[in-house]
Amino acid sequence: MTGLLRRTCTYGAGALLALATTFSSAQSQTKLSAHWEELTGPDFIAAIKQAQGTCILPIGILEKHGPHLPIGSDLLNARYTALHAAEQQYTVVFPEYYFGQIAEARQEPGTVSYSRELQLALMQATTDEMARNGCKKILIINGHGGNNHLLPYFIQTQLDKPHDYVVYLFDQRVPPTGGPAKKTTNDQHAGESETSKLMIVRPDLVHPERANAESGADQHHQNLPDGVYTAIWWYARFPDHYAGDGSAASRELGEFQMKWWVDSVAKVLAAIKADDVSLKLQNEFFEKTSHPLDTPQ
């Protein structure tokens, strides 16, 4: 500080301005973390600005993944995807969020299943708080198949009352075509694809030698006509909460699928940043809901 004052007195206001400009430039060149929880308060403000108000909420679950994968596999995959996509399209990624729908696995060790009321209330409170902190475009990345119906419903309920932000959902986890040929046809929960992806995300937590300790085959314990849905359908087919064959996994398949997922999310982020229509339409919609009889027919 003494040296700074001496130089300032010697060189005058011009030197001080130059030093301030240098400091500001150095600050702007500092790489901001994409991890919400790692940012300082001042850095968080800069991060939201750099992200253009976009944030990702990766959602997983706590459930058994066969005999060979970690209980938190879904979030591990989704968060890896979000953070790597942020390297292509900077965004702020929310911390671990395991609070989805997993009633069908309550019989398995390690499963944490919240009530439907709490699931929806907590998700709403989370997106509200994210928006209050500047996240006006929130992208949910879903890593868990059990959320496939919950999340679209949650997003649809955003029309219950006005919000000053938009929630988007990207729920594709596997490329539709391409990549190494798969060895299995039943490839659902903890099967070939999911195990392959974990080989990339957290290879230290994958135990392929245990994959055949249980059967992931469809048990067909129910005999009902097509189109009939019951809550017990998954347990009737896969009572061990394992659907596929993890022993067929490969790093090659995992690399292809994870790269596709990361690149896809990065493209979605770019589109969301450019989206200046959704919030305008939301506002227009809510303005009309206050006087529906005036809506042209």
Q: Give pLDDT, residue 274.
A: 98
Q: What is the pLDDT of residue 283?
A: 96
Residue 3, pLDDT score: 47
- What is the C-alpha to C-alpha distance for residues 35 and 58, in angstroms, rounded to an integer? 12
Q: Whole-prediction pTM value?
A: 0.88
pLDDT of residue 99: 96
pLDDT tens, residue by residue, 108-120: 999 999 999 999 9
- Cα separation, 105 vs 238, in Å, equals 10
User: Which amino acid would we find at residue 288?
Assistant: K
- Residue 62: per-residue pLDDT: 98
Q: Give residue 129's pLDDT.
A: 98
Burial grade of 257 (CB within 10 A; 0-12, 13-18, 19 or more): buried
**pLDDT per residue rounded down to tens, the chain (297 residues):** 444 444 444 445 454 444 444 444 444 447 999 999 999 999 999 999 999 999 999 999 999 999 999 999 999 999 999 999 999 999 999 999 999 999 999 999 999 999 999 999 999 999 999 999 999 999 999 999 999 999 999 999 999 999 999 999 999 999 999 999 999 999 999 999 999 999 999 999 999 999 999 999 999 999 999 999 999 999 999 999 999 999 999 999 999 999 999 999 999 999 999 999 999 999 999 999 999 999 999
Q: Which fold has domain 31-271?
A: Rossmann fold (3.40.50)
